Structure 1
């Protein structure tokens, strides 16, 4: 896909039309169809150095600030719906809204500043569409929307927004167990936005770096990145952060770093395992205390993180208790990602299957996700 405005608009037109017409379901073929390795990363590396193309004047209705503010307001509404209910319920609606926004780009007239702002609004809306599709388990389509959104952010000249979309892609790659690619995407985001990223963006990327290093068994690197994330977060002024970074609050920092410590504990066979697990429990517990009420899916993830940390040190009763809450939250939202995390917990509880609480935990998860 060329790094040009017309190519970006055409790609979004194709994606929104096909998504609204074709029904999808999650299966292993879809998950395996995502781009990975050099096939994904080589084209994206151009993002770090590409500059916005000149916007060609066109005839049509004049695009104004009210149009852009309307798209931003709708994007905020969809983000809130995603946090409360998961991505399954609203994903078709956000795709339809993106089609309308993209149509304005394709048919309206605008000056340079307004055009760049409109591309940024479409990019942000596209990141929400990709995120909902990812949460709905539609991985190939989600990746396509993320890539189109990165292109739109590039045409907007907004490297910080592009870095945000790349971290969404990194989370998807990690979810699909492409851990090296996840870490590479974070590194690309850090490099490409190095002169433009806000403290919250830099802290978020460092926290993800900590998590992915831990998954890869690189515990010292994980601890270094976690410390960097915490130091950078101390510099955050929420009033100076863009709307797309509102999700990365202290609760999200604690949850991400807490999971990194949990994963590091799994790799640690020394007596330090208990210390790492305790740190994870403290951070995840603090995240839950700080979570706003509308972050329902995040709360489910926090409880699942606590359950998995309890299992790392063989505390089956604690894992059972946290799983009960996670299952209640899972029942209230539509999220394939939460279902996938429950399935991982099911597997991790297998060594304790002769304990009644672990057996019940596995039985309940099996009933919920099948």
Structure 2
């Protein structure tokens, strides 16, 4: 007969230390607030974890626990891997197994780690050349296995590997600017796993190298999180942003922390959690103030404005936009982070358009969105499509059908090059509004063209990450 008795989580009990279950639950709630999560943790929940009744926490608790105890995976906290306790496969596994293992499995970086990423991890652990680092991060032409067998072993992580991580970040951002997140997310997850494998190795030769490696891995996590965000994989995005925030906290890196909070705020706004968006933006501003970048503070103020708009707080939104303008007008500086190349006047206008749209002020939103499309550099193809989609939505909701149709055609013109679920969803919403309120020939033609454009067809070939600038 198979035993179904839970196995106590002694690891988690040791982490609690001398604190009572209630005191520890309060610490969990505080940690959740730090990263913009909401968990109803109490002494009973802690007891269920320690008794083994909860074998694996939900995603929100996972992010909080890994923020409190930054590790490679849940196994280090005494939990079972998610795939062993979720769904049909987990039930089958439990039915076939006489008991839960008495020792936790080795920690994993992600539950979807496959054979290829295992090869990447081994390569990083055993080699220190630039060629192998680049191949492992998906930036080289040679296969991982070939690189592994042809190059000498070296157990130190040095500048070559760090440079490869930093290059991966830049290439992913470049491809996202051109193509959007849908076609890139799965491929970008591979170099992210490899970068965190480098951190796991813990064999950097200098403190400066270690700091760069933490920063690079964290920035890579944010970049991959953004691709997940843009392609509608919101839970994946939350996980990646939390991973970046944990990395920032471990490394004591306020610039990375500000970036992680900035993206977390944006995601919260997009997923209907405006209060969380405000809190994350405020936390990002606290982290950013000592850095000396007025443009970063401007962007974070706009993230706060977006959250306040979602709350219906017009006054608070207007004040945050005012702070953003004041900071933006102080100009660019050497302290501005590299990742902020997209934040120009066009983006300033676009984020304001989104605020006024959330508040239902369609004419004002359309004015800002129209200006964003006029100012945008055509190099940022994805953002150009995004700005036109925002303009289409605002004009449609404001009853200006003819101009909305013109802007909508401009989006359709770019969809063969841009793969973004977010942009497609925005355009679909505008089409629904136009179809409901206007039956003119121009609207019918646009609706028909949209229907053709969204039919499932093979997507465009996205260049490999070693492609150069056009």
Instruction: Identify the TM-score tier after normalising by the shorter chain.
Output: 0.7 to 0.9
Q: Distance in 2 between the 1:17 and 1:351 partners?
A: 44
Q: Distance in 2 between the 1:293 and 1:21 partners?
A: 40
CA contact (8 A) 1:162 1:189 kept: yes
Q: Distance in 2 between the 1:347 and 1:170 partners?
A: 28
Does 2:167 correspond to 1:73? yes
Does 2:321 correspond to 1:226? yes
**Cα deviation, residue 21, structure 1:** 7.8
Give 1:63-212 correspondences, 5 Å limit.
63-110=157-204, 111-196=206-291, 198-212=293-307
Give 1:227-246 correspondences, 5 Å limit.
227-246=322-341
**Cα deviation, residue 121, structure 1:** 0.7
CA contact (8 A) 1:349 1:358 kept: yes
Structure 2 match to 1:7: 71
| Aligned Cα root-mean-square deviation (Å) | 2.7
TM-score, with length taken from structure 1: 0.78
TM-score, with length taken from structure 2: 0.62
**Cα deviation, residue 309, structure 1:** 2.5
**Cα deviation, residue 214, structure 1:** 2.5
- From 390, 399, 422, the counterpart of 1:314: 399
Give 1:219-368 correspondences, 5 Å limit.
219-264=314-359, 266-267=360-361, 274=363, 276-277=364-365, 280-281=366-367, 283-368=368-453
**Cα deviation, residue 218, structure 1:** 1.8
Deviation sequence 1:71-127 (CA, Å, 0-9, x none)? 112210110101111112222222111122222222242243322221111000111
Higher Cα Rg: structure 1 or 2? 2
Structure 2 residue runs of 5 or longer lacking an equivalent are 1-64, 76-106, 117-153, 456-470
Higher relative contact order, chain-length normalized (CA < 8 Å, sep 6+): 1
More helix by share: 1
Q: Go from structure 1 to structure 2 and tell me whether the alpha carbon gap of 1:20 and 1:227 turns closer, same or farther (over 3 Å shift).
A: farther
Deviation sequence 1:289-348 (CA, Å, 0-9, x none)? 332333111111111122223224321100000000111212322111111111221333
Q: Distance in 2 between the 1:249 and 1:91 partners?
A: 25
Q: Go from structure 1 to structure 2 and tell me whether the alpha carbon gap of 1:309 and 1:20 turns closer, same or farther (over 3 Å shift).
A: farther
Q: Distance in 1 between the 2:439 and 2:272 partners?
A: 29
Q: How many residues align?
A: 322
Of 317-326 and 298-307, deviating more is: 298-307
Q: Distance in 1 between the 2:406 and 2:207 partners?
A: 56
Q: Go from structure 1 to structure 2 and tell me whether the alpha carbon gap of 1:141 and 1:294 turns closer, same or farther (over 3 Å shift).
A: same
